[in-house]
Amino acid sequence: MSRKKAGAPLGVVGLLAAAVAVAVLIAPGTLSYFVSSAQTPATTVSTGEAALSIAGNGGPSGTVYPGGPTQLLATRTITNTGDVALSLVSAFTATGALAPSLTITVSVQSGACGATPPATWPADSGRWQGTTAGLTTSVPTTIGIGATRRLCAWQSLGVNAPNGTQGQAAPVSITVTGTQVAP
């Protein structure tokens, strides 16, 4: 009894070769893998310096009364001494029995501070107004590199201030924060 090994019929191998040849003819293409590199020259990265200088002390002193006119509280000179433009925002606090009824208006502007806030605000002025409980107006502004602006702060007392505020004081603290403007 002889045993024959079963081999792949020539027809199957030929059929596979024909299928590969047809596939190459119908969908030609190449398979490539390219590798390239280039060295770039060294570069330097540097950061800017945000610096804000506020000069001045004291201020006009006056008394306010319920429903009375807004009065100038303080003026300061603000200078951007850094090498990046700064976006300015302001916040304020006051303490004492008078504080909840006190309205503070703060502005950073190009011109001098008037005895009362301007009737219309210049386009480049930032302004913040409200009571110590919260702001009602917040308009940020930008101060350029080396620019000097005037900080003006006014005070007024609401018409509905309680009788307990008579003869009281409210020390006010105003904070101006400068944040770098993205180039």
Ordered by start, the domain boundaries in the chain are 52-180
- pLDDT for position 21: 67
Its pTM stands at 0.70
Q: What angle do CA 164, 169, 172 make, to 5 degrees?
A: 130
The residue among 76, 86, 142, 85 whose CA lies nearest residue 106 is 76
Q: Which two tokens stand for residue 136?
A: 């009602």
What gap in Å lies between CA 86 and CA 49, rounded to an integer? 10
- Distance, in Å, from the CA atom of 77 to the CA atom of 57, rounded to the nearest integer, reads 10
End-to-end CA distance of the chain: 93
Number of H helices, E strands in the chain: 1, 9
Q: Which tens digits make up the pLDDT trace of 51-99?
A: 899 898 766 667 788 888 888 988 999 999 999 999 999 888 888 888 8
Look at residues 177, 178, 173, 7 and name the one whose alpha carbon lies nearest to residue 92.
173
